Structure 1
Amino acid sequence: MPDKHDLHAEFPEYKEQIHHLKQHNNHFAVLFNRYHEIDHEIHRIEQGAEVCSDDYLEQQKVQRLHLKDDLYMMIKAAEAAV
C-alpha cells in the first residue's frame, strides 16, 4: 500500500508551528491545502482508484515535493523568528 505523505507525519516535530501557521499565515494555509490535495490525489492514483499517465503522476510528485520544500522553509523561518 502506498504511503501518504501527510505534512504532520513528514514533520511531526513541527506540529505546533504547522498549526499556528495554518491559522495565522494565509499563504502557508493555501500552500498547505494544495499540498494535501496533491498528496491525496497521488495516493488515490497509486491505489488504483484513479487512472492517469505515468508522466502526470511524476509531475504531481514533483509538485508535491516543491510544495513540501516551500512549506518547510516557511516553518523554519517562523521557528527562527520566535
Structure 2
Amino acid sequence: MRKTDTRLDNKEIIAELKQKDSHFASIFAEHTQLDEKINYLEKDLIKHSSCDDEIEQMKRRKLHLKDEIYKIIDKNKTQSHA
C-alpha cells in the first residue's frame, strides 16, 4: 500500500467490501463513529478536558481499526489482481 492511499483512492473497493463483508462494514462503521466522536470532543477541549485519557484511548482504537481496514483492502486488491 502506498502512503498516499486514502479513502478516496479506495472508494470503490470500500463500498464493495461494506456490502459483501459484514466484519469490514462493522469495523469501518466503528472507525467512522470514533472519528466523529474524537472530532467533537477535541473541538471543545475546555468543556471536555476531563476526557483526555478517553480521547487517547479512542485514538488508539481508531488507529488499530484503520490498520485492520487497510489490511483487508490490500488483501482484496491483491486477490482482485491475481
TM-score higher than 0.5: yes
Cα RMSD, aligned residues only: 1.8
Structure 1 residue 70 corresponds to structure 2 residue 64: no
Q: Which residue of 2 aligns with 1:56?
A: 54
How many residues are matched? 74
Query: TM-score under structure 2 normalisation?
Result: 0.82
Q: Which moved more, 1:50-59 or 1:22-31?
A: 50-59
Q: Structure 1 unaligned runs (5+)?
A: 1-8
Q: State the match for 1:79 in structure 2.
A: 77
Query: Structure 2: which 5+ residue stretches go unaligned?
Result: none
Larger gyration radius, structure 1 or structure 2: 2
| Residue 5 (structure 1) aligns with | none
What does the per-residue CA deviation read over 1:1-36, in whole Å, with 9 as the maximum and x for residues that have no partner? xxxxxxxx9332111100000011000000011001
Matches within 5 A, 1:8-47: 10-47=6-43
Aligned partners of 1:80 and 1:13: how far apart in 2? Answer: 15
Cα 1:26–1:80 shift into 2, 3 Å: same
Cα deviation per residue 1:12-66 (whole Å; 9 max; x = unaligned)? 2111100000011000000011001101000100111862421111111111000
